[in-house]
């Protein structure tokens, strides 16, 4: 009697635009450990903040949609939303690392809701839309799988021409997408970024544009979707920049012969950027005094019932108008740009599949997965002591 053999399962690999493709472009080896190896980062600062901001904006939209009071909201109104998201992330094992991080995250959440929420929420037709699509595996891809296709997925908010055309003319989001399409029906997709606006010479500047263009392709695969004519990126950190953000911006604007940002300051904002070193020193002195007060409170003041010292907020010398301009980035969408972005991401998938196949054949991880030497990425990486391209190789220092 001949027994049949069960065929191998036909698996279509799935790739998230942010969790896989952009993470691989940031650093292949780090992507291998965190995403494919499921090793959580010991200090998930960026991961926590990105998910915190997305969660806060999603929950704030849900509360606003349910009939809450008109925006802007007070800190008392926003506090239940931020507390809920903090608890939800903690239940998933994601916690903020320092009081300073939590404080600036709360500031950014409050400003984001009252700034972009007030202008964006009335325009949203669909919130947190999950997009999925199938693409052929790129020709020549070395893969250990039998699949000839791969799945790409992402999550966006969607605006439509109906909501946009009924908005007030003073809305900067409406002005930014240049509503000159007449009676045509179309859509605009929106994605939040829990980061500062990248320099125009950074790979992230181009990669994030590819992401939005690929989202546009995914959205148009849905049967109920209209043509996507524009995409919007909202860089939340720009609304409340940190000290390091201000340092970076000053370097981009004043550090060389050619500016490395597309949104340049003028008048009082330019003067504030020139005076930033003095403003920063004054604030750092306040922070040192606060940290000493907090140590004293833990040692004696808490037992005596003294109030907790309040952390001084970093001054924001840049005008809100300029910060909003830096926070908003519009990505024009056309068929040629979309095809270019799809081709680029096909190439990334091909690279990942080749790395998986090479690793399965017995190659070492450090010899298989590419690394990118970047100060901001390497300094917080858990694998920096043995990464072949890290500036921090060697035995880790004792804490």
CA distances from residue 380 to 56, 251, 377 in whole angstroms, order as listed:
25, 22, 6
| pLDDT of 299 strictly over 80 | yes
- Cβ partners under 8 Å of residue 306, min gap 6: 297
Q: 161 with 184: CB under 8 angstroms?
A: yes
Residues 15 and 153 sit within 8 Å (Cβ to Cβ): yes
pLDDT of 182 higher than 70:
no
Q: And the tokens for 280? A: 């920063």
User: In the predicted model, what is the mean pLDDT of residues 270-295?
Assistant: 94
Q: What is the model's pTM?
A: 0.89
Considering only CA atoms, which of 74, 96, 75, 76 is closest in space to residue 85?
A: 96
| Chain length of the chain | 399
Structural domain boundaries of the chain?
Answer: 14-240+341-378, 242-317
- Alpha-carbon Rg for the chain in angstroms: 23
Strand partners, 390: none
Q: Give the distance from CA 59 to its chain's centroid.
A: 17
**Residue at token pair 């890290």:** 390
User: What is the overall mean pLDDT for the chain?
Assistant: 88
> What confidence tens digit (pLDDT) does each residue in 121-170 have?
988 888 888 999 999 988 877 766 667 889 999 888 877 765 666 666 57
For the stretch 226-267, pLDDT in tens is: 888 889 999 999 999 999 999 999 999 998 889 999 999 999
Model pLDDT for residues 23-51, shown as the tens digit of each residue? 999 999 999 998 888 888 877 777 888 89
pLDDT in tens, 211-228: 999 999 999 888 878 888
pLDDT reading at 207 higher than 90: yes
DSSP notation for 219-238: HHTSTT---EEEEEEEEGGG
Q: Does the pLDDT at position 183 exceed 50?
A: no
Look at domain 14-240+341-378 and name its CATH class. alpha beta
CA 304 to chain centre: 43
Q: Which residues pair with 160 in a beta bridge?
A: 187
CB atoms within 10 A of CB 320: 12
Handedness of CA 140, 144, 148, 151 (dihedral sign): negative
């Amino acid at each position: 009697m001949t027994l049949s053999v069960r065929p191998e399962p036909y698996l279509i690999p799935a790739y998230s635009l942010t969790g896989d493709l952009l993470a691989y472009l940031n650093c292949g080896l780090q992507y291998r450990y965190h995403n494919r190896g499921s090793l959580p980062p010991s200090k998930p600062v960026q991961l926590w903040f990105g998910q915190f901001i997305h969660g806060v904006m999603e929950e704030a939209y849900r509360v606003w949609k349910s009939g809450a009071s008109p925006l802007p909201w007070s800190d008392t109104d926003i506090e239940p939303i931020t507390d809920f998201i903090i608890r939800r992330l903690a239940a998933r094992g994601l916690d903020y690392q320092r009081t300073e991080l939590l404080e600036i995250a709360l500031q950014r959440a409050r400003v984001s809701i009252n700034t972009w929420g007030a202008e964006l929420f009335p325009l949203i037709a669909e919130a947190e839309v999950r997009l999925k699509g199938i693409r052929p595996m790129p020709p020549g891809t070395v893969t250990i799988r039998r699949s000839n296709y791969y799945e790409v997925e992402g999550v966006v908010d969607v605006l439509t021409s109906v909501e946009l055309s009924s908005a007030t003319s003073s809305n900067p989001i409406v002005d930014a997408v240049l509503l000159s399409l007449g009676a045509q029906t179309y859509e605009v997709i929106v994605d939040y970024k829990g980061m500062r606006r990248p320099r125009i010479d950074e790979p992230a500047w181009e990669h994030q544009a590819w992401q939005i263009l690929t989202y546009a392709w995914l959205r148009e695969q849905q049967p109920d979707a209209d043509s996507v004519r524009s995409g919007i990126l909202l860089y939340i950190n720009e609304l409340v920049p940190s000290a390091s953000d201000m340092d970076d911006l000053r370097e981009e604007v004043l550090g060389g012969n050619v500016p490395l940002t597309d949104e340049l300051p003028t008048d009082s904002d330019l003067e504030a950027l020139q005076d930033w070193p003095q403003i920063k020193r004054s604030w750092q002195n306040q922070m040192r005094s606060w940290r000493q007060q907090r140590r004293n409170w833990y040692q004696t003041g808490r037992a005596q019932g003294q109030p907790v010292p309040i952390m001084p907020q970093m001054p924001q010398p840049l005008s809100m108008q300029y910060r909003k301009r830096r926070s908003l980035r519009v990505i024009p969408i056309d068929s040629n740009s979309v095809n270019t972005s799809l081709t680029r991401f096909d190439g990334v998938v091909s690279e990942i599949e080749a790395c998986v196949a090479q690793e399965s054949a017995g190659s070492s991880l450090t010899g298989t997965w590419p690394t990118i030497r970047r100060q901001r990425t390497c300094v917080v990486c858990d694998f920096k002591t043995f990464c072949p391209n890290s500036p921090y190789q060697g035995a880790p220092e004792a804490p």
